[in-house]
Structure 1
Amino acid sequence: MGLGDFTAIMNKIVEKVCSNLRYWGDTDCVIEVSLRLFLELSRGYQGCRMLLGLESVEFLLQNHTEETFKFLGSPRLLSMRNQYYASLTRLVLMDNVPGRLEMFLAPFLSMLQLLQQQQDFAQGNVTVFRGEPIQLVKLFKDLRGVSDSCTDSRSYGILFETFQNQGKFWSRSELLFAVMQKTVSAFHGNDEVCNAMLRCLVSFVSNDDSRVDSGSTSTNGITLFKKTAVILCEYIQLLMASYQDFSLAPDGVFTCARLVLQALNKMLREGKRRSMLAGKYVPFGVFVLYNDNCLQQTLEACMTIVLRMPFFQMEKRQKLEKAAFTFIDILFTNHIETLSRMAPEGFINLMRFVVIGLDAYDEETMGKCADCIDQLATYYYLNRTRETPTMLRLNQIVSENASLWNDLFEKIMNSLLFNKTSSDILSRPIHSILLVDINVAENYYRVIASRQPNDVIMKLKNSMITLTQNMDKTLEPILRDQFCEKCKDFKNEVLSYLVLWRVCANKQINK
């Protein structure tokens, strides 16, 4: 047919795609199909290598802004902007040419510099964008796409130093975070703008494949945390002032609250994705060493917003519920010392929230709540003879709430017996609390026995003795696994003869 070789044919196809993107910007159907085709072609190593050899793609990389490609101005195509820039960034990084990524980022850098220098930005009068906050949404979506594709430490380091670090030119200092902070001040009531800004922030702080780790002498991790903390704390403060009752808040507020939590703790997946709080790129001890309350303020702000949100609102939003309990789980796993600094009433409120989570329908949420109680009891048991500041504060909390361990044990045992929950999830906190205070078993026995006939009371007493006897005072994994089997046997045995509560149990299981 005389069309030429494979490269020539692909060049014609991509030229047509680029032509559509450039000249058919007012026809959404043409743009959407062309853009999806381009995104599909740019997936994978071979596709990117092929596209990089085409003149039309080179033109696209050098002229990627809205000035040349008018379709980027369409509000109806907002959802595809981050994919568009993620694809372009992959192409830029594929060549590994020094200075090319910086050149690609130059238009964003110029826009951020203009926004940073604008004096009346905090009053919501964004003259750079002619007062249209939708342009801020576009900017944050574009930067999110760029950040998503910077998956290694080298490319992320260039991105970070271009927008964040104080480099050769003073005007580059902390550009992105400065603009984000101004955005929070000016548009904290605009859920669309805050949503785009927070999604960009979540992408930027993500430590996928340890990309933030820039070496032992780098301060990028600490800088990243401190600047992020300022933005999150200010947004939470403004959000709390705007909504006294979160039960009446619109859906957009809960989405933004979930993104705030995700900015601190993205879900670990297969050990490769690390969150800010569990990602090991911030030595949090440095804040205490130098009397910096940045970490404490951030955790308290996020805990406040979690405790202020009604649980029924969380249950309706699985992503929010998951983010909230992941955040709390990380606190109990890695930040017990910080939690102990809370006021006793605040700590107890947090424990009440964890207890409520044990009744959640999602088994993963129940598992996180059980793990929180296990982490607390384990820490308390292992350090009970030490007089560290953390233990002194925890002892004060326990002394002011004498029924704490009894209440936690009773709730977990009820969940074991009457919820449709795996014994594997609940056996560890049961074991840990028994090591802290073996008397909780006797107290729980009295609570149940008070509602049972005499013949059941004797059986129940024997079951409790079987569960708690010959308990080893260590936390060896094999011993905990053996105790899990004892919990399974205890559950099956007690439910076979227990009366009065059996109806409650069936109702709970059928939920």
Structure 2
Amino acid sequence: MSLQYESCSLFIINIMEPLLQAYTARSRLPASGDAAELSVIEGQIAWMVHIIAAILKIRQTVGCSQDSQELFDAELAARVLQLINITDTGVHAQRYQEISKQRLDRAILIFVQNFRRSYVGDQAMHASKLYARLSELLGLTDHLVLLNVIVGKIATNLKCYAECEDVIDHTLSLFQELASGYMTGKLLLKLESTKFIIANHSRENFPFLEEYRCVRSRTNFYYILGCLVFMEDGPVKFRSFMEPLLQVAVNLEASADAAFRTDVVKYAFTGLMRDLRGIAMATNSRRTYGLLFDWLYPSRMPLLLRAISLLTDEPEVTTPLLKFMSEFVLNKAQRLTFDSSSPNGILLFREISKLIVAYGSRILLLPNGTNIYRSKYKGIWISLTVLSRALCGNYVNFGVFELYGDRALADALDISLKMTLSIPLSDILTFKKLSKAYYGYMEVLFNNHITINSVLNLDTSTFVHIVTSLESGLKGLDTGISTQCASAIDSLAAFYFNNITAGDNPPSPAALNLARHIGELPSLFPQILKSLFEIIIFEDAGNQWSLSRPILSLIMISEQMFSDLRAQILASQPLDQQQRLSQCFDKLMTDVTRSLEPKNRDRFTQNLTTFRHDFRAK
């Protein structure tokens, strides 16, 4: 093994050396030389770099750590690290638009990723033999010096490849790997090249930020920078980092309403939203989220409301704005845990409500375009996601709004329901992202005592339409959506059981509304119960536990409903099987009491699993 490793390494080095010499010599020649021949050399070197990258990857898979192998890894790596210094000098610095040059730099990025995973970072063991040899060959004495070279290459790529999205994305992928590691992230902050990027993240220094084709890369770029900035405590550094974005926001705020229709202002605003979304993604604690929250609220929020009001019909503007808000209101890692005396959760929801109402009330009035998903549905599903995340984020006491006569919650729920009802159910089921957002929103609505009231206050035809859509979601192929629908139906059925069937006190207005809806369409609950049993019995659903919950709640509502369904199912089976299947139904309710207590639910779920197995047995 060792001899093969040595012979292969020497063979590769012997091929690589003359190529490097030729490439180095070419860098000193005028740009008017033979470009075709240079492209061939770049292609050959790229191929060799890929081979070296693959060899270095072996260490990750088989754990090779012999000193001799580390020495040959150093020899191979030194050739590629030497190449990094050459690719961005002389005539080569004028070839960033050439395909062969782009392929070469992507090969170098792959090499760096594999080298880093083996010899630099949180999991990599410090290899003294490798760095001793690299020190002799190139003066790279340790991790830190090598990282400075790597980050320098990252900065060069981000400066020079403004028109090549693939290289930008691959470069940012490497940068993110480095920044996300605890040890490598801390090391990066010590480097001058990293400090330069953090201090000078402007379009002048990184032209790809101005390129529309690289617009999606902006979010990732600022996510990485945010991760690095938030590794160090202190609001001073954060405010300094945010200064270029603050200037953009101030300029936008000073723009006249008419100017918002111009491409310059629209691009500046959407860029700001993408940048802020990346920074919001990097906040993963109360401290870091608080820094961004204080920067944004209250001074910057009017700009967002103004933009969504003026440009509702411009999805290229509203989509980045709503996606930023979707990230900003997400309570991941409990980052939105405000102090008990802080009103910030309520204030944040009021701003969310303003945005959703402003967008929804205007988007509903717009005519349907040729691409209705792009012009309407996409904005609607992101709006529903924003509201869903805010409603279940556990940082707002929603009872405050009704107590003090604040319409923020009621208006947000009202406009969101109008948006959902404006979309045909067939379209909801057709578009996957729309479907996920719609059913996720419905689950949140039905699971919250306050928000379920808004559904129950609807007229009966609208209420039935929504509940029927939940039944359609149950029957779909997406297990996640089926689970959400089951949860919503369970909440509705449990509400009926607790407030009407088993309720001792006078029913609330919401309960009376639900009773009225069911009274006008008594077949609604039996039809849903039938669908649930058909899925359990005849399909191989992967979420049987979730489906069992609404089944019990519906059975508890009416024993007669369950008895009728049982008779219907048995009648559909062969005569010689009916007695056996009847016994399966008898066992289903063994030891199950008339309650929805957790222990009773679990007992029923166990019985249902046995019932399904016995029912399907031949």
Q: Cα offset for 1:423?
A: 4.3
The 10-residue stretch of structure 1 (61-70 or 144-153) with the greater mean CA deviation from structure 2: 61-70
Give the drift of 1:99: 0.9
Match of 1:41 among 178, 181, 197: 178
1:51 aligns with 2:188: yes
* Rounded Cα–Cα distance in structure 1 between residues aligned with 2:138 and 2:592: 83
> Which of 445, 448, 454 is 1:331 aligned to?
445
Question: Unaligned stretches of 5+ in structure 2?
Answer: 1-136
Q: Could you tell me how far apart the structure 2 residues matched to 1:309 and 1:96 are? A: 47
In structure 2, the residue matched to 1:369 is 485
Whether 2:500 is the aligned partner of 1:386: answer: no
**d(CA) in 2 for partners of 1:147, 1:197:** 13
Which residue of the other structure, out of 127, 141, 146, is the alignment partner of 2:279? 146
SS where residue 242 of structure 1 aligns? coil
Structure 1 unmatched ranges of 5 or more = 166-172, 266-274, 498-511
- Is contact 1:212–1:220 with CA below 8 Å preserved after alignment? no
Tell me, what secondary structure is at the counterpart of 2:359? Answer: helix
* Counterpart residue number, 1:130: 264
After superposition, the C-alpha distances for 1:294-318 in whole angstroms (9 at most, x for unaligned) are: 2122223323333433444344443
| Change in CA separation of 1:43 and 1:417 when aligned onto 2, cut-off 3 Å | closer
Q: Identify which range, 47-56 or 81-90, moves more after superposition.
A: 47-56
* C-alpha RMSD of matched pairs (Å): 3.1
| 1:251 Cα offset (Å) | 4.5
Q: Partner residue of 1:170?
A: none
Aligned to 1:430: 551
2-side partners of 1:420 and 1:12: how far apart?
55
Per-residue deviation at 1:211? 1.4
The code of the aligned residue for 1:42 comes to A
**Does residue 100 of the first structure (1) align with residue 237 of the second (2)?**
yes
Distance 1:391 1:30 in 2: 59
SS at match of 2:492: helix
* CA distance in structure 1 between the partners assigned to 2:476 and 2:347 by the alignment: 37
Q: Which moved more, 1:369-378 or 1:484-493?
A: 484-493
Deviation per CA, 1:173-213: give whole Å up to 9, x if none. 2x1x3222222223322322222112111111111112122
Q: Distance in 2 between matches of 1:372 and 1:37?
A: 42
Deviation at 1:376, TM superposition (A): 1.5
Pairs within 5 Å for 1:71-470:
71-121=208-258, 124-126=260-262, 130-131=264-265, 133-165=266-298, 173=299, 175=300, 177-243=301-367, 249-251=372-374, 253-265=376-388, 275-334=389-448, 335-383=451-499, 384-387=503-506, 388-421=508-541, 423-445=544-566, 447-448=568-569, 464=585, 467=588
After superposition, the C-alpha distances for 1:30-88 in whole angstroms (9 at most, x for unaligned) are 65555444343323222222222222322322221113332321222212111111222
Q: Which moved more, 1:138-147 or 1:44-53?
A: 44-53
When residues 47 and 359 of structure 1 are mapped into structure 2, their CA distance, relative to the original with a 3 A threshold, is: same
In structure 2, what is the equivalent of residue 504 of structure 1?
A: none
Instruction: Give the structure-2-normalised TM-score.
Output: 0.69
Q: What CA distance in whole angstroms lies between the structure 1 residues aligned with 2:478 and 2:167? A: 43
Task: Identify the structure with bigger relative contact order (alpha carbons < 8 Å, sequence gap 6+).
Answer: 1
Tell me how far 1:10 sits from its aligned partner: 3.5
Q: Which has the larger radius of gyration?
A: 2
Q: Secondary structure at the match of 2:221?
A: helix
Which deviations, in whole Å up to 9, do the C-alpha atoms of 1:363-411 show, x marking residues without a partner?
A: 2222221222211222222232222333233333333333333333233
CA distance in 1, matches of 2:165, 2:527: 60
Stretch of structure 1 that moved more, 375-384 or 448-457: 448-457
Compare 31-40 and 331-340 and name the one that shifted more: 31-40
2:540 maps to a residue whose letter is K
TM-score by length of 1: 0.82
Using the TM superposition, name which of 447-456 and 348-357 deviates more.
447-456
Q: In the comparison of the two structures, how many residue pairs are matched?
A: 474
Name the amino acid aligned to 2:317.
Answer: V
**Which amino acid is the alignment partner of residue 447 of structure 2?**
T
Give the secondary-structure state (helix, strand or coil) at the position aligned to 1:66.
coil
Moved more, 457-466 or 83-92: 457-466
Identity of aligned residues (%): 27
Question: 1:494 offset after TM fit, Å?
Answer: 5.4
Residue 197 of structure 1 aligns to a residue in which SS? helix
- 458-467 vs 481-490, which deviates more? 458-467
**Distance in 1, Cα, partners of 2:177 & 2:578:** 68
